[in-house]
């Protein structure tokens, strides 16, 4: 009778018999069931059908009936000897055996099939029907097992599955299918078998007991407590190698242990530790000391969005995150100001180079300020310190014999007898034949080029060019030191794969000596008497800017820059800058032999394109830093979108339509909607005070889910996976929206005491999640983060949630906490507004006039239609749409059943799909991903 094997069945029960013995049960059996639990239907039907005398006791879903199990397991049967059965199929079989009917081999086969093949599909179908309002789609998941059943039934010619009389197999299968088939008869379960069993009075009685005549509604609270079912293999969208922890909709199964741990953590309280920033920030003993740089922008190029995301914005997010982690961190950057380009610009504008630098340095500063880039110091390279440090490094290289004198060819303008800025010479790359290579570097293959090597050279201003020879200095002989250091740094630090790969290909080509001087005036003078007229070439000079800028910030700059034991250096940049930071600059520092801090973590982004083309100032294509604020879109929203499409691992594109979509679907409908609802409930239903929270299993499960997302966020952020980490923030608010949707606090608040308390718990948990989200958002959207914390009147200590280890989700707003004034965080980005912006920045007009330009730029104009369908979230709307989807689904099925004309069906299916899309949006889920833009290149 008693099956002592341990076998996984589909649901929450394991076939295992309690060995614990209890006395004084009087030879009575007792069956524990809960209302709305579909597994209880089986056992009650078995009791009714067999007529076995057994008292049934109704308990809550949470009741832990079986003493040695840490989780509830219902139904459960307490046997006369004090042991328990808690697999529903085992209980059914036991009932039949008590009534004198042994189960046959055939019976057992059906039970086995039910548990292993049918149940997983049914659970998923129930989840979809009861919780997701997707009843019309369940055939996808259960058609497979149903087909098997129908076929088997067609082969037997007895009224019941295993013979002339009803058996345990009939009862178990009927009871399993009943909840799915109950309101529709949607599926043809073949034969008369189902109707025959269904028509039995005993079965109908059992159904009435479990579902109370309330149908699916009655199962809701039970289903909410179940982990989301795993997607079965018949769902074609699921990759077959997905890990078992992934479940439907990306939702994760959490174990009971995680749930308990999350509930314990919740009550821990936050550490009060202050993380105040005091300048000058210097390395501290016992702290993680992080020096963070972002590539120095060249002063007279106004940065475009691609520059911003690649360098300063990424570095800013990481430094804000680092401060939340309690790291002792210094973030420096500044403008790179020397060079021919500045000299030329000065001539053009009739100013001195210094005036040009002053002017553009201010432009950069104001752009970064608008983007809320929180530098500890934003300096410039045209300082005394630069001269001092660059010359010192030069003399050390010289003294250590790493410099050699040689002669190089350089392009010179015939008219004005000036050398040309390499950057302004274009031609075909001698290595990869890319036609738009620049005289200093090829944007395609990343190799450094000598301008004279370009094939089919064109000078941008088309001045006659001659080649001149002149003397210069080159470093050499540092290969082996460099390689040794690289091995160590790349294996111990977080280098992005592109950084490693670009560096490797550089080393493979062999290090060639490079000229470190140029014949200009606007630069750091070369101190050597033989090179008096020359200045340092920008590649040698500019990275030294990191040191000199720090030196302008603090006299104790060497505590950061000559302290590799204590300091970790992060360099942020776009990939074209990699070789300077991984090969060229480290060579200077290694050769100087002065105990310099070298890069530990080299973080390089790929390229951000603009609507599938390149940003181009000269062609007027793209959004440049100074224009972003003119769009009227808040800086936080810009940051959000740029970080959402951060070219992490591959190139990505800025697209207006996509930005509007993300603005409306993710920010407004998902994140903003959740945070606003949570706060509004506190204001409206609880007079602005966080209500008492009495955590149920379901709430604890949510805490565990949120805690897990927080841990993923931290793991990714620690590895500078900024874009990936953002997705976990959005998933937390998705969980939160779903939680509110399922629990309907706005309804429960009108109910009795228990219901009101439930509304209180749900509200309290939600508003705490909102508080956590504000902290996780801080690196990405600093203003919004602050606004949320102001609205919630959150204690300062809430930002300490990530100080330790993997972070903890604790109750930061406890019962009685008074929130501030809650109001919506985001506004909708309207379609016509987006159209106007796209026209303004698309560069189309310019292109039209420049028909003769060598490289016509076509700016694709993706339809903005998808934007217009995005609606504000509201549960009323979602409900109407759910209804509409169900009705449209019925209509489609009816048409199919009538074998209507294909065109008619297709049209109705299209309507259905559209309704579903609208529903997804109304529910705050992101709609179908926008169609992938085809990649150039
Ligand atoms: C976030 O949720 C979505 C939809 O529920 C899912 O597809 C995705 O995999 C989840 N992402 C992460 C990073 O967990
Ligand atoms: C750097 O420091 C010098 C003097 O210490 C000061 O005159 C100069 O303005 C500073 N430059 C910047 C860019 O902060
Ligand atoms: C380099 O600096 C560290 C302090 O960070 C010091 O302990 C070490 O001795 C120095 N090494 C050399 C070679 O100067
Ligand atoms: C979308 O952009 C508009 C700019 O028109 C802005 O006002 C709004 O706040 C943005 N929406 C979201 C959700 O951030």
What is the CA(734)–ligand 1 centre distance, in A?
A: 9
pLDDT surpasses 60 at 569: yes
Give the highest mean pLDDT range of 258-262, 504-508, 567-571, 867-871.
567-571
Average pLDDT on 489-516 reads 88
Question: Closest ligand to 565 CA?
Answer: 3
pLDDT surpasses 60 at 914: yes
Ligand 4 pocket, mutate which of 633, 639, 671, 673 (most atoms under 8 A from CB): 633
Which residues sit with their C-beta closer than 6 Å to ligand 4? 632-634, 637, 663, 667-668, 672, 826-827, 829, 833
What is the CA(651)–ligand 1 centre distance, in A?
A: 21
Atom of ligand 3 nearest to the CA of 594: 14
pLDDT surpasses 90 at 694: yes
Average pLDDT on 339-353 reads 89
Question: Closest ligand to 132 CA?
Answer: 1
Measuring CA to CA, which residue among 145, 133, 123 is closest to residue 247? 123
Question: Closest ligand to 829 CA?
Answer: 4
In angstroms, the Cα distances linking 326 to 39, 290, 441 are 50, 11, 39
Higher-confidence position of 70 and 507: 507
pLDDT of the residue at 471:
59
What is the CA(421)–ligand 2 centre distance, in A?
A: 28
What is the CA(562)–ligand 3 centre distance, in A?
A: 8
Q: Which of 83-92, 495-504, 784-793, 866-875 has the lowest mean pLDDT?
A: 866-875
Task: Please tell me the residue having the least CA distance from ligand 3 atom 4.
Answer: 563
What is the CA(385)–ligand 2 centre distance, in A?
A: 8
Which residues sit with their C-beta closer than 6 Å to ligand 1? 249-250, 727-728, 731, 734
Residue 82: band (very low, low, confident or very high) from pLDDT cuts 50, 70, 90: confident
DSSP-based three-state secondary structure for 111: helix
What is the CA(667)–ligand 4 centre distance, in A?
A: 9
Atom of ligand 1 nearest to the CA of 724: 13
The string of pLDDT tens digits covering residues 279-326 is: 999 999 989 999 999 999 999 888 888 889 889 999 999 999 999 999
Residue in the structure block whose two tokens are 């028509």: 199
Is cis: bond before 280, omega within 30 of 0?
Answer: yes
Task: Please tell me the residue having the least CA distance from ligand 3 atom 7.
Answer: 565
Average pLDDT on 181-186 reads 61
What is the CA(827)–ligand 4 centre distance, in A?
A: 4
pLDDT surpasses 80 at 467: no
d(CA 836, CA 833): 5
d(CA 303, CA 309): 10
Task: Quickly count helices (H) and strands (E) in the chain.
Answer: 36, 18
Q: Are 314 and 572 in contact (CB under 8 A)?
A: yes
Task: Please tell me the residue having the least CA distance from ligand 4 atom 10.
Answer: 827
pLDDT surpasses 90 at 109: no
Task: Please tell me the residue having the least CA distance from ligand 1 atom 6.
Answer: 250
Average pLDDT on 687-702 reads 95
Cα angle for residues 85, 87, 92 (degrees, 5° grid) = 85
What is the CA(594)–ligand 3 centre distance, in A?
A: 9
- Round the CA-based radius of gyration of the chain to a whole number and report it: 34
Atom of ligand 2 nearest to the CA of 334: 13
Q: How many CB atoms lie within 10 A of CB 250?
A: 10
Give the highest mean pLDDT range of 174-183, 438-447, 579-588.
579-588
Q: Which fold has domain 867-931?
A: Helix Hairpins (1.10.287)
What is the CA(663)–ligand 4 centre distance, in A?
A: 6
Task: Please tell me the residue having the least CA distance from ligand 4 atom 14.
Answer: 826
pLDDT of the residue at 582:
95
Q: Which of 63-67, 368-372, 731-735 has the lowest mean pLDDT?
A: 63-67
Higher-confidence position of 97 and 238: 97
Residue 184: band (very low, low, confident or very high) from pLDDT cuts 50, 70, 90: low
Task: Please name the residue ranges forming H helices in 719-830.
Answer: 722-743, 745-748, 753-777, 782-792
What is the CA(10)–ligand 1 centre distance, in A?
A: 24
Question: Closest ligand to 554 CA?
Answer: 2
Atom of ligand 3 nearest to the CA of 563: 5
pLDDT of the residue at 336:
96
Measuring CA to CA, which residue among 57, 40, 143, 49 is closest to residue 100? 49
Q: Which of 5-19, 402-416, 586-600 has the lowest mean pLDDT?
A: 5-19
Tokens of 224: 């909410």
Question: Closest ligand to 729 CA?
Answer: 1
What is the CA(592)–ligand 3 centre distance, in A?
A: 14
Higher-confidence position of 315 and 222: 315
d(CA 79, CA 21): 10
Ligand 1 pocket, mutate which of 644, 731, 925 (most atoms under 8 A from CB): 731
Question: Closest ligand to 593 CA?
Answer: 3
Task: Please tell me the residue having the least CA distance from ligand 3 atom 9.
Answer: 595
Q: Are 861 and 880 in contact (CB under 8 A)?
A: no
pLDDT surpasses 90 at 786: yes
The string of pLDDT tens digits covering residues 388-433 is: 999 999 999 999 988 888 887 777 777 766 777 777 788 888 888 8
pLDDT surpasses 80 at 488: yes
Task: Please tell me the residue having the least CA distance from ligand 2 atom 13.
Answer: 379
Atom of ligand 2 nearest to the CA of 382: 13
Task: Please tell me the residue having the least CA distance from ligand 2 atom 2.
Answer: 552
How does DSSP classify residue 159? S
- Kind plus residue range of the DSSP H or E element containing 470: strand 465-475
Q: Are 133 and 886 in contact (CB under 8 A)?
A: yes
Atom of ligand 3 nearest to the CA of 562: 2
Q: Where are the domains of the chain?
A: 4-239, 260-269+648-866, 403-475, 867-931
Question: Closest ligand to 559 CA?
Answer: 3
pLDDT surpasses 80 at 464: no
Average pLDDT on 349-375 reads 95
Give the highest mean pLDDT range of 266-270, 376-380, 469-473, 641-645.
376-380
What is the CA(631)–ligand 3 centre distance, in A?
A: 51
Q: Which of 38-47, 479-488, 653-662, 759-768 has the lowest mean pLDDT?
A: 653-662
Higher-confidence position of 82 and 687: 687
Residue in the structure block whose two tokens are 């330790």: 804
The string of pLDDT tens digits covering residues 259-271 is: 888 998 898 877 7
The string of pLDDT tens digits covering residues 25-76 is: 346 888 999 988 888 999 999 999 998 888 888 988 888 887 777 677 889 8
Q: Which fold has domain 403-475?
A: 2.170.220
* High-pLDDT (> 70) share of the chain, %: 83
Task: Please tell me the residue having the least CA distance from ligand 3 atom 3.
Answer: 563
Task: Please tell me the residue having the least CA distance from ligand 4 atom 4.
Answer: 633
pLDDT surpasses 80 at 735: yes
pLDDT surpasses 70 at 469: no
Task: Please tell me the residue having the least CA distance from ligand 3 atom 14.
Answer: 595
pLDDT of the residue at 851:
29
Task: Please tell me the residue having the least CA distance from ligand 2 atom 5.
Answer: 552
Average pLDDT on 625-629 reads 79
pLDDT of the residue at 713:
96
Residue 6: band (very low, low, confident or very high) from pLDDT cuts 50, 70, 90: very low
pLDDT of the residue at 430:
87
Atom of ligand 4 nearest to the CA of 833: 5
What is the CA(724)–ligand 4 centre distance, in A?
A: 23
Which residues sit with their C-beta closer than 6 Å to ligand 3? 563, 565-566, 595
Per CATH, domain 260-269+648-866 is 1.10.730.10 = yes
- The backbone torsions φ and ψ at residue 473, rounded to the nearest 5 degrees and listed phi first, read -110, 145
The string of pLDDT tens digits covering residues 130-159 is: 888 777 777 778 877 887 787 788 778 888
What is the CA(585)–ligand 3 centre distance, in A?
A: 20
pLDDT of the residue at 124:
84
Task: Please tell me the residue having the least CA distance from ligand 3 atom 5.
Answer: 563
d(CA 744, CA 740): 6
Question: Closest ligand to 237 CA?
Answer: 1
What is the CA(595)–ligand 3 centre distance, in A?
A: 6
Q: Which fold has domain 4-239?
A: Glutathione S-transferase Yfyf (Class Pi); Chain A, domain 2 (1.20.1050)
- Residues paired with residue 616 on neighbouring β-strands, in sequence order: 621
Question: Closest ligand to 598 CA?
Answer: 3
Question: Closest ligand to 713 CA?
Answer: 1
Which residues sit with their C-beta closer than 6 Å to ligand 2? 379-380, 383, 552
Task: Please tell me the residue having the least CA distance from ligand 4 atom 8.
Answer: 827
pLDDT of the residue at 463:
63
Average pLDDT on 175-190 reads 70
Residue 183: band (very low, low, confident or very high) from pLDDT cuts 50, 70, 90: low
Q: Which of 32-36, 471-475, 789-793 has the lowest mean pLDDT?
A: 471-475
Task: Please tell me the residue having the least CA distance from ligand 3 atom 1.
Answer: 595
Atom of ligand 1 nearest to the CA of 709: 14
Atom of ligand 4 nearest to the CA of 660: 1
pLDDT surpasses 50 at 797: yes
Average pLDDT, the chain: 81
pLDDT of the residue at 427:
86
Q: Are 414 and 459 in contact (CB under 8 A)?
A: no
Task: Please tell me the residue having the least CA distance from ligand 4 atom 11.
Answer: 827
Task: Please tell me the residue having the least CA distance from ligand 2 atom 3.
Answer: 552
């Amino acid at each position: 009778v008693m099956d002592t094997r341990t076998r996984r069945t589909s649901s929450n029960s394991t076939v295992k018999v309690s060995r614990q013995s209890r006395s004084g049960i009087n030879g009575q059996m007792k069956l524990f069931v809960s209302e709305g639990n579909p597994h209880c239907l089986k056992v009650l039907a078995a009791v009714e059908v067999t007529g076995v005398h057994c008292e049934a006791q109704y308990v809550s879903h949470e009741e832990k009936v079986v003493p040695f199990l840490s989780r509830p397991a219902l139904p459960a049967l307490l046997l006369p000897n004090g042991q328990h059965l808690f697999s529903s199929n085992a209980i059914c079989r036991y009932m039949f055996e008590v009534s004198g009917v042994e189960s046959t081999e055939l019976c057992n086969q059906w039970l086995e099939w039910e548990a292993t093949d049918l149940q997983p599909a049914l659970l998923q179908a129930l989840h979809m029907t009861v919780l997701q309002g997707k009843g019309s789609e369940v055939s996808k998941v259960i058609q497979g097992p149903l087909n098997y059943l129908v076929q088997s039934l067609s082969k037997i010619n007895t009224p019941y599955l295993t013979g002339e009389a009803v058996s345990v197999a009939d009862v178990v299968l009927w009871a399993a299918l009943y909840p799915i088939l109950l309101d529709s008869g949607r599926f043809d379960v073949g034969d008369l078998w189902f109707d025959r069993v269904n028509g039995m009075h005993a079965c109908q009685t059992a159904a009435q007991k479990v579902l109370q005549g309330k149908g699916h509604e009655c199962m809701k609270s039970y289903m909410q407590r179940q982990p989301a079912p795993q997607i079965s293999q018949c769902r074609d969208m699921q990759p077959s190698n997905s890990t078992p922890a992934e479940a439907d909709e990306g939702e994760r199964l959490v174990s009971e242990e995680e749930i308990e741990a999350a509930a314990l953590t919740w009550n821990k309280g936050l550490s009060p530790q202050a993380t105040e920033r005091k300048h000058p920030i210097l390395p501290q003993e016992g702290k993680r000391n992080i020096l963070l740089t972002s590539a120095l922008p060249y002063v007279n190029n106004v940065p475009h969005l691609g520059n911003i995301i690649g360098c300063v914005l990424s570095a800013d997010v990481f430094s804000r995150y680092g401060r939340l982690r309690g790291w002792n961190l210094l973030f420096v950057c500044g403008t790179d100001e020397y060079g021919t380009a500045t000299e030329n610009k000065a001539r053009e504008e009739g100013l001195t180079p210094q005036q040009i630098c002053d002017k553009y340095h201010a432009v950069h500063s104001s752009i970064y300020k608008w983007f809320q880039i929180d530098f500890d110091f934003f300096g410039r390279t045209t300082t005394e310190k630069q001269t001092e440090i660059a010359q010192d490094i030069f003399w050390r290289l010289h003294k250590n014999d790493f410099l050699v004198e040689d002669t190089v060819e350089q392009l010179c303008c015939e008219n004005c007898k000036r050398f040309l800025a390499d950057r302004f010479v274009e031609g075909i790359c001698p290595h990869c034949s890319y036609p738009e290579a620049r005289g200093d570097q090829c944007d395609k293959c990343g190799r450094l080029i000598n301008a004279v090597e370009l094939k089919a050279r064109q000078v941008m201003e088309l001045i006659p060019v001659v080649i001149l020879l002149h003397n210069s200095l080159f470093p050499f002989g540092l290969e082996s030191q460099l390689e040794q250091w690289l091995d160590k740094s790349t294996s111990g630090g977080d280098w992005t794969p592109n950084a490693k790969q670009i560096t490797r290909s550089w080393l493979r080509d062999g290090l060639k000596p490079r000229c470190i001087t140029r014949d200009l005036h606007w630069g750091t003078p070369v101190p050597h008497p033989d090179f008096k007229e020359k200045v340092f070439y920008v590649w040698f000079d500019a990275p030294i800017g990191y040191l000199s800028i720090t030196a302008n910030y603090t006299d104790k700059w060497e505590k950061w820059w000559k302290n590799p034991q204590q300091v970790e250096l992060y360099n942020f940049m776009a990939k074209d800058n990699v070789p300077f930071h991984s090969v060229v600059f480290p060579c200077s520092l290694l050769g100087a032999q002065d105990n310099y801090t070298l890069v530990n973590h080299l973080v390089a982004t790929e390229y951000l394109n603009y609507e599938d083309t390149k940003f181009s100032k000269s062609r007027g294509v793209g959004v440049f830093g100074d224009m972003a604020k003119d769009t009227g879109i808040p800086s936080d929203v810009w940051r959000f979108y740029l970080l959402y499409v951060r070219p992490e691992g591959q190139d990505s594109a800025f697209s207006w339509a996509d930005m509007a979509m993300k603005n409306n679907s993710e920010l407004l409908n998902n994140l903003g909607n959740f945070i606003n609802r949570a706060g509004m409930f506190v204001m409206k239903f609880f007079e602005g005070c966080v209500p008492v929270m009495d955590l149920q299993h379901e709430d604890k499960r949510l805490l565990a889910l949120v805690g897990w997302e927080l841990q993923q966020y931290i793991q990714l952020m620690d590895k500078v996976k900024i874009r990936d980490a953002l997705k976990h923030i959005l998933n937390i608010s998705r969980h939160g929206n779903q939680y509110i949707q399922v629990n309907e606090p706005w309804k429960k608040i009108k109910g009795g005491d228990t219901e009101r308390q439930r509304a209180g718990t749900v509200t309290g948990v939600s508003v705490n999640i909102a508080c956590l989200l504000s902290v996780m958002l801080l690196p990405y959207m600093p203003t919004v983060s602050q606004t949320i914390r102001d609205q919630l009147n959150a204690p300062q200590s809430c930002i300490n949630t990530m100080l330790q280890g993997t972070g903890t989700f604790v109750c930061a707003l406890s019962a009685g906490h008074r929130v501030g004034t809650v109001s919506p965080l985001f506004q909708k980005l309207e379609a016509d507004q987006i159209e106007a912006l796209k026209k303004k920045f698309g560069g189309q007009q310019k292109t039209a006039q420049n028909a003769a330009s060598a490289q016509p730029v076509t700016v694709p104009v993706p339809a903005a239609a998808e934007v217009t369908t995005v609606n504000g979230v509201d549960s009323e709307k979602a409900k109407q749409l759910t209804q509409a989807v169900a009705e449209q689904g019925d209509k489609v099925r009816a048409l199919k059943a009538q074998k209507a004309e294909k065109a008619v069906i297709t049209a109705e299916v299209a309507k259905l799909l559209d309704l579903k899309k609208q529903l997804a949006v109304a529910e705050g889920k992101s709609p179908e991903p926008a169609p992938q833009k085809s990649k150039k290149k």
